[in-house]
């Protein structure tokens, strides 16, 4: 374990706490740093100060700094959070670990490729309003809200990280993406439901609801998995003799 006590000026207002940040490194050790944290200092702010002032070798992921890109997920004292929107409010030691179960590239940086492995193929990432069943009709206010909820997903992987299912399972992020794609492209519903009507699809969900509780954007993947299950059950009923 290495330790740095070099003090650096607090960049986010007057320091309110002197935080001890304990970061899991690639080799399994923890490096410990002390950082002044003001009222608005986030975990990502602290990581950037550590990398700028104390340790240029520190690896972590980030891009937007405002909860939109989904790249900065970490485990902070056992809780899955976005580093850029989580403030440091205590001088209690803060243990930071990479977002399991994703493969570690280095320190807190993970390879998010597995997150996308089971997303529907040819999924569109922008909602095409012309794909609505009656595209010439204006979108009712309540319909806009329904689409917005799906679109909130930033693909951060936190829902997958907290899901307790260990057997083959497409996972909450991919299934929410299926739900999103069906909302956008009703013409693909039968095709997409067939892909997730499998042991590793909707049936693989244990309804632990961890995903909905942990999602930082309020996407509630478990709710959407339940909607998909109802669609699959209805589809089966239609085909039963």
The smaller minimum CB distance to ligand FES, of residues 66 and 167, is found at: 66
Question: Three-state SS string across the chain, please?
Answer: CEEECCCCCCCCCCCCEEEEEEEECCCCCEEEEEEEECCCCEHHHHHHHHHHHHCCCCCCCCCCCCCCCCCCEEEECCEEEECCCCECCCCCCEEEEECCCCCEEECCEECCHHHHCCCCCCCCCCCCHHHCCCCCCCCCHHHHHHHHHHHCCCCCCHHHHHCCCCCCCCHHHHHHHHHHHHHHCHHHHHHHHHHHCCCCCHHHCCCCCHHHHHCCCCCCHHHHHHHHHHHHHHHHHHHCC
Tokens 């997903």 sit at which residue? 153
Stretch that binds ligand FES, among 17-25, 56-64, 110-118, 163-171 (CB under 6 A): 56-64
The smaller minimum CB distance to ligand FES, of residues 34 and 42, is found at: 42
Closest contact distance (angstroms) between CB of 165 and ligand FES is 25
The smaller minimum CB distance to ligand FES, of residues 65 and 223, is found at: 65
**For residues 66-125, which are near ligand FES according to CB under 6 A?**
67-72, 82, 84
The smaller minimum CB distance to ligand FES, of residues 69 and 123, is found at: 69
The smaller minimum CB distance to ligand FES, of residues 70 and 98, is found at: 70
> Tokens in use for 199?
């042991």
Indicate which single residue of 22, 51, 65, 223 sits in contact with ligand FES (rule: CB under 6 A): 65
Alpha-carbon distance 23 to 121, whole Å? 36
157 sits near ligand FES (criterion: CB under 6 A): no
214 sits near ligand FES (criterion: CB under 6 A): no
Alpha-carbon distance 146 to 180, whole Å? 10
Stretch that binds ligand FES, among 49-57, 63-71, 174-182, 232-240 (CB under 6 A): 63-71
Alpha-carbon distance 198 to 181, whole Å? 18
152 sits near ligand FES (criterion: CB under 6 A): no
Size of the site for ligand FES (CB under 6 A): 12
Closest contact distance (angstroms) between CB of 155 and ligand FES is 10
> Tokens in use for 53?
């002032």
Indicate which single residue of 6, 64, 91, 103 sits in contact with ligand FES (rule: CB under 6 A): 64
The smaller minimum CB distance to ligand FES, of residues 159 and 205, is found at: 159
174 sits near ligand FES (criterion: CB under 6 A): no
The smaller minimum CB distance to ligand FES, of residues 72 and 225, is found at: 72
Residues that bind ligand FES (CB under 6 A): 62-65, 67-72, 82, 84
């Amino acid at each position: 374990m290495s330790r740095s006590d070099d003090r650096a000026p607090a960049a986010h207002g007057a320091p309110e706490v002197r935080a001890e940040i304990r970061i899991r490194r690639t080799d399994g050790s923890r490096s410990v740093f002390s950082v002044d944290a003001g009222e608005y200092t986030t975990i990502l702010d602290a990581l950037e100060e550590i990398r700028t002032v104390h340790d240029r070798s520190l690896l972590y992921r980030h891009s937007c700094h405002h909860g939109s890109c989904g790249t900065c997920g970490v485990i902070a004292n056992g809780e899955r959070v976005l580093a850029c929107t989580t403030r440091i409010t205590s001088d209690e030691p803060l243990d930071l670990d990479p977002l399991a179960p994703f493969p570690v590239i280095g320190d807190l940086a993970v390879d998010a490729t597995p997150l996308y492995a089971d997303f529907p193929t040819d999924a569109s990432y922008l909602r095409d309003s012309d794909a609505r069943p009656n595209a010439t009709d204006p979108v009712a206010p309540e319909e806009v809200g329904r689409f917005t909820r799906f679109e909130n997903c930033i693909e951060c992987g936190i829902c997958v990280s907290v899901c307790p299912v260990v057997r083959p399972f497409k996972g909450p992020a991919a299934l929410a993406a299926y739900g999103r794609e069906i909302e956008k492209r009703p013409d693909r519903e039968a095709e997409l439901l067939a892909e997730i009507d499998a042991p590793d699809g909707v049936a693989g969900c244990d309804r632990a609801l961890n995903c909905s509780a942990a999602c930082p954007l309020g996407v509630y993947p478990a709710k959407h998995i339940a909607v998909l299950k109802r669609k699959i059950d209805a589809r089966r009923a239609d085909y039963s003799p």
